[in-house]
Amino acid sequence: MSTLSYTSPTTVEAAVSALAGANGGAKVLSGGTDLLVQLRSGRSRPEMFVDVKRIPGLIGVREENGGFVIGAATPCVLIGEHRALQQAWPGVVEAARLIGSTQVQGRATLAGNLCNASPAADSVPAMIAARATCTVAGPSGRREAPVEAIATGPGRTSLARGELLIEFRLPKRPPRSADAYLRFIPRTEMDIAVVGAAVNLTLDPSGTCTEARVVLGAVAPTAVLVPDGAAALVGRRLDSDTLSRLDAAARRACVPITDKRGTIEFRTQVAGVLARRAATIACTRAGER
Amino acid sequence: MTVIGTREHLKVVGTRPIRPDGVDKVTGRAAFGADLALPGMLVGKVKRSPHAHARILSIDVEKARALPGVKAVITAADLPEIPSEESFVGEGPMNFRDLSRNCMARGKALYEGHAVAAVAATSGAIADAALDLIEVEYEPLPHVLDVEAAMAADAPLLHEDLFTQGVEPAPSQPSNIAKRIQFSLGDLAAGFQAAEVVLERRYTTRPVHQAYIEPHACVASAAADGQCQIWCSSQGQFMVRAYCAKLLDMPISSIRVTPAEIGGGFGGKTLVYLEPLALALAKQSGRPVKMVMTREEVFRATGPTSGAAVEVKLGATRAGKITAAQAVLKYQAGAFPGSPVQPGCMAAFAMYDLENVSITGYDVVCNRPKVAAYRAPGAPIASFAVETCLDELARTLGMDPIALREKNAARDGTRTAYGPTFRDIGYVETLQAAKDHPHLRTPLGPNQGRGIASGFWFNVGGESTAEVHINEDGTAVVVSGNPDIGGSRASLAMMAAEVLGIPVDRVRPIVGDTSSIGFSFLTGGSRVTFATGMAVVQAAEEVVSELTRRAAMIWDIGPESVEWTDGAAVPTGAHAGKFDPLPLAAIALKAGRTGGPISAKASINAQGAGPGFATHVCDVEVDPETGKVTILRYTAVQDVGRAIHPSYVEGQIQGGVAQGIGWALNEEYVYDGNGRLENPGFLDYRVPVASDLPMIEAVLVEVPNPRHPFGVRGVGEVPIVPPMAAVANAIHAAVGVRMTDLPMSPPRLLAAIERAGR
Amino acid sequence: MSKNHVSTTINGEPVEFLCETQQTLLDALRDELQLTGSKEGCSSGDCGACSVIVDGRLVCSCLMLAVEAEGRTIETIEGLARGDVLHPVQQKFLQAAALQCGFCTPGLLVAAKALLDRHPDPTETEARYWLAGNLCRCTGYDKVIRAVLEAGAEMRGE
């Protein structure tokens, strides 16, 4: 029978202490939208929940040094309501806003989405494409890490015992930069992404791409950075030739599985399609900034 | 029987009053199956097989029994062994022995999720812990999931004693083919000889679940003298009573079943799963037991409808006259025989006037949950095949798909392949209304297409009892025995109000429990507004007769001189004008002095249910790079006989269409190599969500059924029959790809588009 | 095992209850407080039948632990009407026949109220996407969306 306990610390240090002291049986509870489902199904059998929502600073979005800091336990609905963030990082925001239903949006967090480490997590490709970093607090203090360093495989992270995410940082944007995230789902809502594609790019005044990051989701054990995709974009305008190369690069980067949500062939093909479409949207947005 | 009044004279029927149970449902007060709590109540849970097919070698429950808080444990050993008895269970054929074994496995687990034991404990957590302590020894066996694989000679055998019925000579070896059926008309060979165009196609579908949002739930209690009570969400409290009595070997009169509000059924709640177990646990423990399925259990262990393989062959002249039609339908029934292949066969060509027809059906078992009725059971699968094939025929002939159907349409006097002759049907009217609808003139853009398909359902009548009681203040109570799954309470009250001549808000409809009202066949088959409505009208008419008799007594005149008009007794003939009209309330006030309480009962076996027909028009847009389909617009034209409450008739049509679209596009069961279900939840069992659908235009055509006092036809099932073909035909129009396998999910459609070289 | 004591506000009233840690808010509402209006359809946050509003945000109560309700303000279906005066969404659902079996209705009504509180003039598409987390198997959503849009119009005084 369950001996599950619950604590709701009001400082980061107390949270670290609770996590470190529970012999691996403690889990961070932020939005709970993945954790509670896993608890119910028996997939997760924690001994303790450490609720981080009452720690000051863990919920909220603020501008800092031209960039943004997002508290790790900020529900996606708040992320969507931050105008300046949405302006600067439309791809990150639309990705966060795609996670689940309106009800899930009221609770789900970027930290939860990242640390649950589903290969199909919607917010992760866009955050990686954005070069987002996160602050990790643990028994040895705090450290910064790029978002792509966190998930190491389905359901697994690089976080040590006692560590938790405090906040995310998005860098300052050069002019004529924009990002976009698209996902493929069979319905219009309520599905886990079958494929996700994020493109973050910067254009020069003539419309030529000067830098780019292309990241795919749900086509590998973790979100996958596609350097060849970026290479296909950089130094070029977004014409059909560029898009073809991007499509091909995206397909080559896929190592998907066949499961109840999609086949290898389907995911590979659609990855190319979404990469093209996301790049087109990002390019249009960048041109408007 | 004549139809009461023309539209113009009806005061209540055809209007849209607020439904009587509405306020309870919008405030959260309405009590569904899981909402009841009784003092001392225990929580019951079921242990289920993890294997798709296995012999059960032993079950040891001692550790579970010993766990503090556990008050009862049962396995098949604690339940009576039910002998073989073929019957009609719920809405389909089933053997009572199979029903018993479906509720609790005996000797063999036949699907993943098959119940093998159950416990009742003082909390859900303890019940779960007790389940973990039950030790079951299995011998896993090879399993088979799909219908044609199960028909193969070397397929794993589910039942040693299953010999195919309907085959001559009778087979000497058992197989997984429970039954073969055949319907024929005319001379098929000659018909194909006369054809100038012949199309032969094969179609496959997957099992889909009714996916009601409310999981199965019940509370059962048993007193020491054997008197039992069950409160449950179901489509038929009399069915629950009968099946529990049968499965537990108890007299029917010792069980009282009260129907809770039901959160969706669509045929899936026309049989029992938990109720016999809850009752057995209640008897063993001496305390009430509540059992509620999780969503996962609903998917793993309750009846979806069949998956199927269907072959269709059509022959026609170049002018579009169908000269021969043949179909072979192979339906899988799940773990026990009883798929809806028979109604599927009967419905397949029912919309058409055909001389030469042959339909063959196979009922096949496999290691999946036992199939249960799902809205027009069997017909949607058959129509997907036939209506898609017809669309292809139309294109081959260069004919408009509606014109092809009109040329071959069943009309008054058409003889069906399964026997009866149609009378007073409205199929042609639906084709005409579809043709006239502005939808057909809406322009389409790139990658967009329009599909047409028709549908049919028999609708049934059957046994119903209704009582109408007049209260002392002139209000009325209408008691009947059918759970209300679609708004039938409102319609019953409206029909009673119309006959009594009083406002509908003075009529209170009640759904009675099995001890409070006479027998009623279950809610299903689109029968309640028809059959129970007929009983209500009959009872109300008897009440009206009695009221006129009482008025006559009050006036001291002969009863033949009194009429009932606008809710009041009016003197006629020689006494016309001699007395002021006597309203119902005034007569009610004097009931005691004129002979006693005024009420009437009607117990009938309603005959003359009129079949329903529909024609649907669907527009889709296909993304050719991903295979994703968007439903742009949908129009469903249906002959509804007479719409008692038009809003609820529209609602039935819209709901059926939505289910058909889900069946067409994304719903299916996904199994792993071990026969275990991979998507037992709403995340990956993909029913349509609000953003997936446009507004659904429901067009009500009224060709009254002359065999019902108000012209009612059943309406609830027809709407799910055409959508899969309508969507498939629209996809073909959009991207030139003919889908013959359901669901038409993006990976399948994209692969088909790629193969077609677009 | 000791239980957690929770103090919260539900439908405007201060409420206290005891619960085990693994009980969800939905479990507590239904089993500890007998507020059975919120329904359990799936327990995995996929159907919305358990929808409630917490501190002004629409959530699935099956995806919240009961202990997380400490100090929060919760609105359930039971609090939508004021006495016997129905909220416009409830009234419109009745008038427009936007329910059949009624099981998903409490969740839909709470979600619709949350929508109109925050977005008083939604388009049909916005309403559909907002309500995508509320499954309905009976209505095909047509009359539901109409009722929500009509309620919005009424609340805007049109």
3-state secondary structure of B586: helix
Q: In this predicted structure, what is the pLDDT of residue B6?
A: 58
pLDDT 10s digits, A8-53: 999 999 999 999 998 889 999 999 999 999 999 989 999 999 999 9
Distance from CA of A195 to the nearest CA of C (A): 20
| CB contacts, 8 Å: B645 with chain C | 97
* CATH code for the domain in which residue A29 is found: 3.30.43
Query: In DSSP terms, which residues pair with B638 in a beta bridge?
Result: B614, B700
Is the ipTM above a cut-off of 0.95?
Answer: yes
* Interface with C, mutate which of A33, A40, A101 (most C CBs under 10 A): A101
Phi, psi of B687 (to 5 degrees): -80, 155
Say which of B296, B679, B746 has its CB closest to residue A186.
B746
| Locus of tokens 């000497």 | B172
Q: Give B247-308 as a 3 state SS string.
A: HHCCCHHHEEEEECECCCCCCCCCCCCCHHHHHHHHHHHCCCEEEECCHHHHHHHCCCCCCE
Strands A61-64 vs A156-157: parallel, antiparallel or unpaired: unpaired
Contact B750, B627 (CB under 8 A): yes
Nearest to B311 by CA among B275, B359, B351: B359
Contact B597, B591 (CB under 8 A): yes
* CATH code for the domain in which residue A135 is found: 3.30.465.10
Report CB contact under 8 Å: C139, B654.
yes
pLDDT 10s digits, B732-757: 999 999 999 999 999 999 999 999 98
Regarding whether A210 and A136 lie in a shared domain, the answer is: no
Return the biggest CA–CA distance within chain A.
66
Per-residue pLDDT, averaged over A70-99, amounts to 97
Regarding whether A67 and A43 lie in a shared domain, the answer is: no
How many Å apart are CA B432 and CA B449, to the nearest integer? Answer: 21
Q: What phi-psi label fits residue A112: left (phi over 0), alpha (psi between -120 and 50 degrees) or beta? A: alpha
| CB contacts, 8 Å: A194 with chain B | 746
Per-residue pLDDT, averaged over C62-74, amounts to 98
Q: In this predicted structure, what is the pLDDT of residue B421?
A: 95
By CB neighbour count within 10 A (0-12 exposed, 13-18 middle, 19+ buried), where does C157 fall?
A: exposed
Catalytic site includes residue B467: no
| CB contacts, 8 Å: C142 with chain B | 650, 654, 693, 695-696
Distance from CA of C144 to the nearest CA of B (A): 9
Share above pLDDT 70 across residues of chain B, in percent, rounded to a whole number: 99
Phi, psi of B718 (to 5 degrees): -50, -40
Q: In this predicted structure, what is the pLDDT of residue B2?
A: 45
Report CB contact under 8 Å: C97, B26.
no
How many Å apart are CA B21 and CA C54, to the nearest integer? Answer: 28
What's the topology of domain B461-606? Aldehyde Oxidoreductase; domain 4 (3.30.365)
Q: In this predicted structure, what is the pLDDT of residue A20?
A: 95
| CB contacts, 8 Å: C65 with chain A | 6, 29, 32, 36, 49
How many Å apart are CA C118 and CA C120, to the nearest integer? Answer: 6
CATH of domain C4-79: 3.10.20.30
- Whole-model pTM: value is 0.97
Report CB contact under 8 Å: C114, A107.
no
Report CB contact under 8 Å: B625, A273.
yes
Say which of B28, B485, B691 has its CB closest to residue C78.
B28
Say which of C45, C51, C132 has its CB closest to residue A37.
C45
Regarding whether A221 and A200 lie in a shared domain, the answer is: yes
Q: In this predicted structure, what is the pLDDT of residue B1?
A: 41
pLDDT 10s digits, B529-578: 999 999 999 999 999 999 999 999 999 999 999 999 999 999 999 999 99
Regarding whether A86 and A139 lie in a shared domain, the answer is: yes
Total domains present in chain A? 3
Reply yes or no on whether the pLDDT at A169 is more than 60.
yes
| Locus of tokens 């938990």 | B274
Residue of B261, B463, B717, B754 marked active site: B717
Report CB contact under 8 Å: C65, A188.
no
How many Å apart are CA B142 and CA C70, to the nearest integer? Answer: 52
Sign of the CA dihedral with B175 first, then B176, B177, and B179 last: positive
- CATH 1.10.150.120 region(s) of chain C? 88-155
| Locus of tokens 């070029």 | A236
3-state secondary structure of B501: coil
Share above pLDDT 90 across residues of chain A, in percent, rounded to a whole number: 97
Q: Does A102 touch chain C (CB under 8 A)?
A: yes
Distance from CA of B13 to the nearest CA of A (A): 39
Q: Top-level CATH class of C88-155?
A: mainly alpha
pLDDT 10s digits, B387-441: 999 999 999 999 999 999 999 999 999 999 888 999 999 999 999 999 999 999 9
Reply yes or no on whether the pLDDT at B91 is more than 80.
no
Regarding whether A130 and A66 lie in a shared domain, the answer is: yes
Q: In this predicted structure, what is the pLDDT of residue B5?
A: 53
Q: Which of residues 30-49 of A touch B (CB under 8 A)?
A: 41
- CATH 3.30.365.10 region(s) of chain B? 1-8+433-457+610-758, 461-606
Q: In this predicted structure, what is the pLDDT of residue A1?
A: 57
| CB contacts, 8 Å: A101 with chain C | 45, 48, 60, 132-134
Query: In DSSP terms, which residues pair with A143 in a beta bridge?
Result: A136
Q: What phi-psi label fits residue B342: left (phi over 0), alpha (psi between -120 and 50 degrees) or beta? A: alpha
pLDDT 10s digits, A233-246: 999 999 999 999 99
Domain stop point among A170, A186, A220:
A170
Report CB contact under 8 Å: A188, B751.
no
DSSP letter string, C74-143: EE-GGGTSBTTB--HHHHHHHHTT--SS-SSHHHHHHHHHHHHHH-SS--HHHHHHHGGGS--SSSTTHH
How many Å apart are CA B388 and CA B452, to the nearest integer? Answer: 9
- B127: nearest CA partner in chain A: A1
Report CB contact under 8 Å: A102, C45.
no
DSSP letter string, B427-480: HHHHHHHHHHSGGGGS---TTEEEEEEEEEE----EEEEEEEEE-TTS-EEEEE
Reply yes or no on whether the pLDDT at B206 is more than 90.
yes
Report CB contact under 8 Å: A102, C114.
yes
Distance from CA of C130 to the nearest CA of A (A): 6
Distance from CA of C115 to the nearest CA of A (A): 9
How many Å apart are CA A163 and CA B134, to the nearest integer? Answer: 39
| CB contacts, 8 Å: B300 with chain A | none
Report CB contact under 8 Å: B683, C86.
no
How many Å apart are CA A99 and CA A112, to the nearest integer? Answer: 11
Share above pLDDT 90 across residues of chain B, in percent, rounded to a whole number: 96
Say which of A190, A260, A263 has its CB closest to residue B678.
A260
Report CB contact under 8 Å: A106, C57.
yes
**Residue C1 pLDDT grade (very low, low, confident, very high; cuts 50, 70, 90):** low
Neighbours of chain C (3+ CB pairs under 8 A): A, B
Distance from CA of B18 to the nearest CA of C (A): 6
Question: Which CATH architecture describes the domain B1-8+433-457+610-758?
Answer: 2-Layer Sandwich (3.30)
Domain assignment of residue A32, given as a range: 5-51
Say which of B666, B747, B751 has its CB closest to residue A187.
B666
Contact A189, A97 (CB under 8 A): no
CA distances, B136 to each of B61, B111, B294, B298, B623 (Å): 9, 15, 22, 22, 50
Strands A5-7 vs B108-109: parallel, antiparallel or unpaired: unpaired
Q: In this predicted structure, what is the pLDDT of residue B749?
A: 98
CA distances, B83 to each of A246, B98, B249 (Å): 67, 9, 11
Show the beta-strand stretches assigned E in A132-265: 133-138, 141-146, 151-153, 156-157, 164-170, 177-184, 195-203, 209-217, 224-225
Regarding whether A252 and A163 lie in a shared domain, the answer is: no
Say which of A1, A187, A266 has its CB closest to residue B747.
A266
Regarding whether A68 and A16 lie in a shared domain, the answer is: no
Task: State the virtual CA torsion across C117, C120, C122, C127 in degrees, nearest 10.
Answer: 20
| Locus of tokens 């000067």 | A210
pLDDT 10s digits, B98-121: 999 999 999 999 999 999 999 999
The one-letter amino acid code at B593 reads R
Regarding whether A145 and A221 lie in a shared domain, the answer is: no
Instruction: Retrieve residue B395's tokens.
Output: 């294109």
